[in-house]
Amino acid sequence: MSGQGIAAAGKGSGSAEKWIAAVLSAWEVSGQAAVSARGLAQATGLPASSIYHHFGDLERLYVCAHEHAQVLAAEWCGARLDQLADVPGGAESLPALLAALIDDWCEGQRGLAFAWRECQLLVARDPRYGPAAQRWRTLWAGFWRHVCDRLGIPGTATITERLFDGESFLHMMRWRRSVDRAALDELCRGWGNWLGGTLAGPSPWRDMARGCAQRSAPLPEARDETAERIAEAAAAIVALGGVAGVTHRAVAAGAGLTLGVVSHKFRTSAELLGSAFEVIYRHNVPAGELEAELAAATDGDGRAMLDRLGERPGAEAFRLATSELMMAAMRDPALAPFAAQLRYLRGRTSRLFLQAMIGRDRPVGALDAAIFSSFAIGQGNAHRGLPDDERQAASLAETEALLSFLRGG
């Protein structure tokens, strides 16, 4: 599925450009799983046969849409680099710039941001999207290399790129605009502290957001056997094919129950997705035995336990499912309380792992846990679609590089 770039999209053809614009819009509004030839035809006012005339098939159209998005993203990167001609050097300049770039990308280039995220999800399920995913990786690697070179901190480029990947993913989930922006500033300030060898420090905005998220959208209480069966079926659907497949009818079929029973237990799609999130969350956090080991771990044990966590059966499928749920929360304003949970009620596991890796003599705070969680999310996104051994080796090397800064060496 390698492409010929925007030229292959029918250069000079208004119809081809309309198809690409429709795909990009659909990715932003509903996601890849909900895209169809019929829906695109309705959006463009063109016959579906025109897709095959210009592109050959739908898959080729998707690739051309990614290539077009990458051209526009490269223009955005170039414009931002042009603005850094006289940037003040030094690591102390990075936090404010990092926060500004994340916010600019997520708010000003939201359609392109969704295209990038859809590619990261697609490549996990279809290796034919490997070249497109690699072009996104190359684009961001080059951008952050130039940014960090201009700041005079070239050794921070890759790990900062991972934080950008993870935190910009989370920042696409909208809750309260001013609070989200303040919490982002806090996190980027904490990142600057990490690169200087110190822990992140206090985080009053994140602490406030966490408290509000807990009060406004508390996790449901323990369910009965039937409700749990429904939740497990919903989670399995998300893991296999994405959020778009989670309908009351599909979940009923997966759970072996009637539609009426599922609708009685979970009246809305948001409730059904919330139940799936709980199940997926349980799969993503360590079991009690591993958590107890982490709590008692000595310096350095966390790295070995990270390997164990990644090797659990179905671990990657459930991480992918978590990303799908986050994408749903990005798109649907009705899921704003759910978005607050996903964004601010995270970090417990990351905190345990980080504490085990840096030692008990340096207590890890809530902001440190959030930073490490964002970094790990960025690693998972960036390495998705790579061979297992390559992904694991890259993650280990990047984590070691990050820890070397945090330890001050």
Q: In whole angstroms, what is the distance from residue 103 CA to residue 107 CA?
A: 6
* Residue 7: Cβ within 10 Å count: 11
Structure tokens at 154: 């070239």
* Domain annotation covers residue 407: no
Contact 323, 382 (CB under 8 A): no
User: How do the pLDDT tens digits run along the chain, 409 residues long?
Assistant: 333 333 344 344 588 999 999 999 999 998 888 889 999 999 999 999 999 999 999 999 999 999 999 999 999 999 999 999 888 888 899 999 999 999 999 999 999 999 999 999 989 888 989 999 999 999 999 999 999 999 999 999 999 999 999 999 999 999 999 999 999 999 999 999 999 999 999 999 999 999 998 887 555 556 789 999 999 999 888 887 778 788 999 999 999 999 999 999 999 887 888 888 778 877 765 555 555 665 665 555 555 655 654 555 456 777 888 888 889 889 988 877 778 888 998 888 888 889 888 888 899 999 999 999 999 999 999 999 899 899 889 999 999 999 999 887 5
Q: How many CB atoms lie within 10 A of CB 260?
A: 10
Give the alpha-carbon dihedral of 182, 183, 184, 188, to 10 degrees. 100
* Alpha carbons 202 and 207: distance in angstroms, whole number: 9
The residue whose two tokens read 């601010």 is 344
- Choose one of 323, 347, 363: the last residue of a domain: 363
Do the domain assignments include residue 112? no
The one-letter amino acid code at 99 reads: A
Comparing C-alpha atoms, which of 165, 226, 107, 219 is closest to residue 374? 165
Out of 23, 53, 83, a domain closes at 83
Q: What is the CATH number of the domain that holds 71?
A: 1.10.357.10
- CB half-sphere exposure, 82, CA atoms < 13 A: 6
Q: Alpha-carbon distance 399 to 115, whole Å? A: 27
The residue count of the chain comes to 409
Q: How many domains does the chain have?
A: 2
Q: Which of 28, 51, 83 is the last residue of a domain?
A: 83
Which residue range is the domain that position 34 belongs to? 1-83
Q: Considering only the C-alpha atoms of the chain, give the largest distance between any 2 of them, rounded to a whole number of Å.
A: 66
CA atoms lying within 13 Å on the CB side of residue 113: 24
Residue 383 falls within a domain, yes or no?
no
Token reading at 79:
């414009």
What confidence tens digit (pLDDT) does each residue in 345-362 have?
Answer: 888 888 888 988 888 889
Please check whether residue 92 lies inside any domain of the structure: no
| Cβ burial 179-194 (10 Å sphere, 16+ → b, else e) | bbbbbbbbbbbbbbbb
The Cα–Cα gap between 191 and 205 comes to: 16
Tens digits of residue pLDDT in 130-183 = 999 999 999 999 999 999 999 999 999 999 999 999 999 999 999 999 999 999
**255: its two tokens:** 């759970």
How far is Cα 189 from Cα 199, in angstroms, rounded to an integer? 10
With tokens 């072009």, the residue in question is: 135
Alpha carbon 156 to chain centroid, angstroms: 21
Give the start-end residues of each E strand in 149-280. none
| Residue 198 lies inside a defined structural domain of this protein | no
- At 104 the three-state DSSP class reads helix
Q: Note the pTM of the prediction, 2 decimals.
A: 0.87
Q: How far apart are CA 95 and CA 99, in angstroms?
A: 6
